[in-house]
Structure 1
Amino acid sequence: MTDQELQQMVEAISLAAFHRPFAHQATFNARLKTTGGRFHLQTQTLDFNPRLFAAVSPAQQAGVIKHELCHYHLYRQHRGYQHRDADFKQLLAAVGGSRYAPALPQLAKYCYQCQACGHQYLRQRRMNVRRYACGRCGGKLRLLANRPR
């Protein structure tokens, strides 16, 4: 999805769900890591996480967009636009936006398995199997797969 397609999607959702136009800019921001999107107060623009949008369904994408549009429209109406405000919670529930960003898929590089119970552990960093044991049964761990990037 490009920035232009995102802009069109945000404008369409704003008119359909909020019955108000979105008059500013929506772009992808690759620096966002843990959040789905961000609303800038000074410029009133919206940023979205491109990795999250590539990994989730269109319905979840719409939920993230509705969440950020709730911030946008409430701020423009001089009402409570923060997560803790009742206005925000009510509008978010009314339009069906997502309260939290969907979880990104795990980027595991290493897979460890307990030799006793067979439980698997997915890790991004390598770990010392002589030092650590299974958290369930205390058995020894072994490296199953080493998937380099």
Structure 2
Amino acid sequence: MTNNWSNDGLQRWIEQISARDFGKPFRHYARWNTRLSSTGGRYLLKSHDIEINPKQWEANGAEEVERIIKHELCHYHLHLEGRGYQHRDADFKRLLAEVGGSRYCKALPAIRKKRTEPYRYFLLCQACGQRYRRKRKVDVKKYVCGKCRGKLTLEAIAE
């Protein structure tokens, strides 16, 4: 399967995988979703649609995306059958192993970098001395200490 970045191509690919590996049709919609950041794909419970992260294709290739599709199809088919479709359910784990889907998707390089960003802001409670580290700036007029409800001050900004 070559990626043509069209939702129609993804739809056909998911329909083929569903018929081949599950022996059941995929009757809903599939689409690429560039807004997914920390996940490879998702199954939407209300609409029964499947969304796949195209960044996984770029970073890890078609084989990894196929394993992600199988994972989402496990949620899809089990949910429609009224069986255990959640990650913790035995039905889900069993079906995932049978079809060769991935339990977890590979992390994207940009996500790893984002999560290891150093703390830039340090807050200090004036009442109890509790210190807080934050990556984003906090409005000290709006928030109070979670321990004693004391006033917070911005202690230092690390650059």
* Structures share fold, TM-score greater than 0.5: yes
**Alpha-carbon distance in structure 1 between the residues aligned to 2:112 and 2:100:** 32
| Dislocated runs of 4+, deviation >2 Å | 105-109
**Alpha-carbon distance in structure 1 between the residues aligned to 2:112 and 2:75:** 34
Query: Are residue 12 (structure 1) and residue 10 (structure 2) matched?
Result: no
Query: Are residue 32 (structure 1) and residue 69 (structure 2) matched?
Result: no
Q: What residue in structure 2 maps to residue 80 of structure 1?
A: 84
**Alpha-carbon distance in structure 2 between the residues aligned to 1:107 and 1:100:** 15
Aligned length: 114
The verdict on how the C-alpha distance between 1:74 and 1:54 changes in structure 2, with shifts beyond 3 A counting, is: same
1:43 to 35, 47, 50: 47
Query: Are residue 62 (structure 1) and residue 66 (structure 2) matched?
Result: yes
Q: Which has the larger radius of gyration?
A: 2
**Alpha-carbon distance in structure 1 between the residues aligned to 2:112 and 2:52:** 24
Flag structure 1 segments of 5+ consecutive residues without an equivalent: 110-122, 128-149
Contact 2:28/2:49 (CA < 8 Å) preserved in 1?
yes
**Alpha-carbon distance in structure 1 between the residues aligned to 2:109 and 2:7:** 23
**Alpha-carbon distance in structure 2 between the residues aligned to 1:106 and 1:55:** 10
SS in 2 for 1:100: coil
The verdict on how the C-alpha distance between 1:91 and 1:51 changes in structure 2, with shifts beyond 3 A counting, is: same
Contact 2:38/2:111 (CA < 8 Å) preserved in 1?
no
Q: Could you tell me which amino acid in structure 2 is paired with residue 53 of structure 1?
A: W
Identity of matched residues, %? 49
Q: What displacement does 1:4 show?
A: 1.0
**Alpha-carbon distance in structure 1 between the residues aligned to 2:103 and 2:42:** 13
- C-alpha RMSD over aligned residues: 2.1
Q: Could you tell me which amino acid in structure 1 is paired with residue 48 of structure 2?
A: Q
Q: What displacement does 1:66 show?
A: 0.0
Q: What displacement does 1:2 show?
A: 1.5
